[in-house]
Amino acid sequence: MILLDANYILRFLLKDNLEMYEISKECIRNNNCIIPNEVLAEVIFVLLKVYKAERDDISNSLISFLNYDNIILNDKNNIIKSLNIFQTKNLDFVDCILCAKSKQYEIKTFDKKLNKCIGNI
């Protein structure tokens, strides 16, 4: 079992360094890989803020990537829901996770945009 960090995932998704892309591709395609939610949040932050990627592109790319059978996430279904929310709402990714989990849990927040997402307004 391999735990991936944000830079490794970014090299795989962006293919901006061919040598690192090939190494990451080989590893990711041939091993069971764990991605902590914190690492995924960092990947999204870097794609959004550093690479100025569009929310649609980020969401679609990550959903495809996370649907690989060998990619292991804590609560994969809610993370996929979170990415769909991220695509359509102007929320940061952590708030999207909370919004996705609002069907299972009562979410308490003072954040107006998050309250609107979870239906508390």
Q: Looking at residue 119, what is its pLDDT?
A: 85
pTM of the model: 0.91
Region 69-97: mean pLDDT is 95
Calpha distance 60→87 (Å, rounded): 8
Apex 106 CA angle, 119 and 55, nearest 5: 55
Residues in the chain: 121
Q: How far apart are CA 14 and CA 94, in angstroms?
A: 22
Average pLDDT (88-94) is: 94
Q: How far apart are CA 113 and CA 121, in angstroms?
A: 9
For residue 97, is pLDDT > 90?
yes
Q: For tokens 């395609």, what's the residue?
A: 29
Q: What is the pLDDT of residue 121?
A: 43
Tens of pLDDT, residues 12-34: 999 999 999 999 999 999 999 99
Whether residue 3 is predicted with pLDDT greater than 90 in this model: the reply is yes
